[in-house]
Amino acid sequence: EVQLVETGGGLIQPGGSLRLSCAASGFIVSSNYVSWVRQAPGKGLEWVSIIYRGGERYYADSVRGRFTISRDNSKNTVYLQMSSLRAEDTAVYYCTKAETNAFQSWGQGTLLTVSS
Amino acid sequence: QTVVTQEPSFSVSPGGTVTLTCGLTSGSVSTGNYPSWYQQTPGQAPRTLIYNTNTRSSGVPDRFSGSVLGNKAALTITGAQADDESDYYCVLYMGSDIWVFGGGTKLTVL
């Protein structure tokens, strides 16, 4: 059974940095595509980033240059390193296993609040 | 910048049929956008309903179906039930390894 567990959210000041983790089980992250999707409070879903099995990484315009997706194959974990955080980055961040051009499995999410 | 559009809200009677759509502010949706659909209830993670336009995810009842109708992707719920009352999101592959979600449709069953 595929499981994704996000951790690392919390309260951070504007301009700060934080790293989210997505621990996967039931599949091997290095053989699959893993993506981050976020949802601001009371708002819709927004695609953030994806890492392919070959290691290629892609980002939404809203986070490119500030966020970096990576993975640790030994820990079967995907990360989202976030810097220069803004109030508008406040959201629940979901980790998803992407396959067949869709986001097939979802974690329960971790809440990031950017506020002074 | 192209935006993915969805009806903000929709209402359906129990047992009725409703079609939610997913379009583009510029251009038409095609199967090459690999439209997928997600259901979300408050406080919960999204659940994948449909992918690759019309393939149901495991465990999804066959009263949920996907298609391309005209220039939009569509999610049709046939025989709506009370627990279908949720937010529904589509996402489209825009090429260049970029995905864009629609703003979501809040479906009321009453």
| pLDDT, averaged across chain A | 97
Shortest distance between the Cα of A28 and any Cα of chain B, in A, equals 20
Other CB atoms within 10 Å distance of the CB of residue A90 = 18
Q: Considering only the beta carbons, identify the residue of B36, B45, B100 that sits closest to A108.
A: B45
DSSP 8-state symbol, B2: -
- Once rounded to an integer, what is the mean pLDDT over residues B26-54? 97
pLDDT score recorded for residue B66: 98
Cβ contact B45–A107 (<8 Å):
yes
Extended strands (E) in chain A = 3-7, 10-12, 18-25, 33-39, 45-51, 57-59, 67-72, 77-82, 91-99, 102-106, 110-114
The residue in chain B having the minimum alpha-carbon distance to the alpha carbon of residue A109 is: B45
Q: Considering only the beta carbons, identify the residue of B52, B87, B100 that sits closest to A102.
A: B52
Q: What percent of chain B has pLDDT over 70?
A: 100
- For residues B89 and B75, is the Cβ–Cβ distance under 8 A? no
CA distances from residue A26 to A2, A4, A20, A60, A73 in whole angstroms, order as listed: 4, 9, 20, 27, 14
For A47-98, what is each residue's pLDDT tens digit? 999 999 999 999 999 999 999 999 999 999 999 999 999 999 999 999 999 9
Residue B31 has pLDDT above 90, yes or no: yes
Q: Considering only the beta carbons, identify the residue of A50, A94, A105 that sits closest to B97.
A: A50
**In chain B, how many H helices and how many E strands?**
0, 11
pLDDT score recorded for residue B2: 82
Output the furthest CA–CA distance in chain B (Å, rounded).
41
Best probe of the A interface among B99, B101, B105, by most A CBs < 10 A, is: B99
pLDDT score recorded for residue A100: 85
pLDDT score recorded for residue A89: 98
For B65-78, what is each residue's pLDDT tens digit? 999 999 999 999 99
For B85-110, what is each residue's pLDDT tens digit? 999 999 999 999 999 999 999 999 99
Distance CA B94, CA B68 (A): 16
- Type of residue numbered A115: S
